[in-house]
Chain A
Amino acid sequence: MVAIPLVVDLVFIWGPALATIVLSFTDATGAAPIHWVGTKNYHTLAEVDPSFWPAVRHNAIWLGVFILIATPLGMLFAVLLDRGLQGSRIYQSVIFLPVMLSLALIGIIWQVIYTTNGGLLNTLLGHGDGGGVDFLGDPSINLWAVLVEATWRQAGYVMILYLSGLKAVDLALKESAALDGANGWQTFRYVVFPVLRPVNVVILVVTVIESLRAFDLVYITNQGGIGLQLISAMITQQITGPGNRIGYGSALGVVLLLISLVPIVAFLVQQFRKEDES
Chain B
Amino acid sequence: MPSAPELAFTRRSLLQGSLAALALGGSAGALAGCGSSDSSSGGGGKTVSIGSNYSDAGVKSAFAAVVADFNKSSGLSAKVNTVDHNTFQNKIQTYLQGTPDDVFSWFAGYRMKFFAAQGLASPIDDVWDKIGDSFPDSIKNAAKADDGHYYFVPLYNYPWVMNYRQSVFDEHGYSVPATWDDLMALCQKMKSDGLTPISFADKDGWPAMGTFDILNMRINGYQFHVDLMAHDESWTDPKVVKVFDTWKELFPYYSSGPNGLTWEEGAQDLQNKKAGMMFQGAGQVGQQFSKENLADLQFFPFPEIDSAYPIDSGIDAPIDGFMMSKKPKNKAGATKFLEYLGTAKAEAAYLASDPTDVGTASDYDQSSYNQLQKDSADIISKTKNIAQFLDRDTRPDFAYPVVQNALQQFINDKDSAAAAKSLEDQAKTIFV
Contacts and interface: CB of A to CB of B under 8 A. Distances in A.
Contacts of A164: none
Interface stretch (A75-83, A169-177, A235-243): A235-243
A139 B22 contact: no
A117 interface: yes
A134 interface: yes
Contacts of A48: 425-426, 428-429
A44 to B, nearest CB: 5
Given A29-B93, A104-B19, A131 B256 contact: yes
Given A222-B408, A225-B405, A134 B90 contact: no
Q: Is the interface of A mostly helix, strand, loop or mixed?
A: loop
Interface stretch (B218-226, B300-308, B392-400): B392-400
Question: Which of A51, A117, A238 has the largest count of B CB atoms less than 10 A from its CB?
Answer: A117
Contact of A135 (B18, B260, B412, B422): B260
Given A130-B196, A222-B203, A222-B205, A104 B397 contact: no
B15 A245 contact: no
A244 B397 contact: yes
B400 A241 contact: yes
A30 interface: yes
Interface residues of A, number: 52
Interface stretch (A4-12, A86-94, A108-116, A154-162): A108-116
Contact of A50 (B3, B17, B92, B405): B405
Contact of A243 (B6, B196, B203, B395): B395
A67 B276 CA distance: 47
B90 A103 contact: no
B179 interface: no
Nearest to B19: A104
Interface string A205-225: 000000000001001111111
Given A137-B203, A223-B6, A243 B257 contact: no
Contacts, number: 154
Interface string A29-67: 111100000001000100011110000000000000000
Contacts of A135: 260
B118 interface: yes
B22 A102 contact: yes
A137 B260 contact: yes
B257 A116 contact: yes
Contacts of A223: 6, 205, 400-401, 404
Contact of A103 (B22, B120, B258, B422): B22
B71 interface: no
A255 interface: no
Contact of A115 (B6, B265, B404): B265
A51 B256 contact: no
A243 B111 CA distance: 11
Contacts of B255: 116-117, 130
B374 interface: no
Nearest to B255: A130
A210 to B, nearest CB: 17
Query: Chain B contact residues (Cβ within 8 angstroms of A): what range?
Result: 35 or more
B352 interface: no
A117 B412 contact: no
B368 interface: no
Interface in B381-432: 395-401, 404-406, 408-409, 412, 422, 425-426, 428-430, 432
B260 A237 contact: no
Interface string B140-163: 000000000000000000000000
Interface in A108-140: 108, 111, 114-117, 130-139
Contacts of B425: 48
A77 to B, nearest CB: 27
B18 A107 contact: yes
A26 interface: no
B259 A226 contact: yes
A104 B412 contact: no
Nearest to A114: B260
Contacts of A32: 118
Contacts of A137: 203, 257-261, 412
Nearest first, the 8 closest Cβ-Cβ pairs linking A and B are: A243-B397, A137-B260, A134-B257, A137-B259, A242-B396, A107-B18, A31-B93, A104-B18
15 contacts: A40-B429, A48-B426, A50-B422, A104-B18, A105-B18, A116-B257, A117-B265, A131-B256, A136-B203, A216-B21, A223-B401, A226-B408, A234-B401, A241-B397, A242-B90
Given A137-B259, A226-B259, 17 more contacts: A48-B426, A50-B409, A102-B22, A103-B21, A104-B21, A107-B17, A108-B15, A136-B260, A137-B258, A142-B260, A222-B203, A237-B401, A240-B24, A242-B3, A242-B4, A242-B397, A244-B397
